[in-house]
Structures are given as C-alpha cells and as structure tokens.
Amino acid sequence: MIVDLNVGGVLIPGLVVLVFVALVATMAIVRLFAATGLDRLFAYRPLVELATFVVIFGLLVQYLPSIGLLP
C-alpha cells in the first residue's frame, strides 16, 4: 500500500507523489535524449515521451514498496 504524504496538515496521495517523481525523471531523460541526439532516431517524439513516463511510473510503483521506501 502506498502511504499518503502529510505536508502541513494536507494529505497528498502517494500516487500523486510518484507521478510527480516520474514526471521529473521523464523530463530529465528527454533532455538527455535531446542533448545526445537520440531524439532524432524516433519518428514520433511525444509517443516516446509518454512511453518513457509510463515505464518510469510503473517501475516506481512496483519497486518502491519492495525496497522499503513506501510501506
């Protein structure tokens, strides 16, 4: 189970936090692709960005509870 985050008395759902982390990681990876020129290899860049986000979010949801960061 993913725990809610308490920020100043406001509960933020754990999945929202994971979405934000995945979004930041996706933006960093997309910039890395652009810096190295790998983005020119893909025909449809928005689809690659969406797939990158989905993969990162799925990995976070799957592995964070198993390593003990989220109960």
CA atoms within 13 A on the CB side of 27: 5
Q: Is the pLDDT of residue 5 over 90?
A: no
Domain residue spans in the chain? 5-67
Query: CB–CB of 19/5 below 8 Å?
Result: no
What is the pTM (predicted TM-score) of this model? Answer: 0.81
Tens of pLDDT, residues 31-59: 999 999 998 999 999 999 999 999 999 99
Tens of pLDDT, residues 59-70: 998 887 665 555
Q: Is the pLDDT of residue 15 over 90?
A: no
Distance CA 52, CA 59 (A): 11
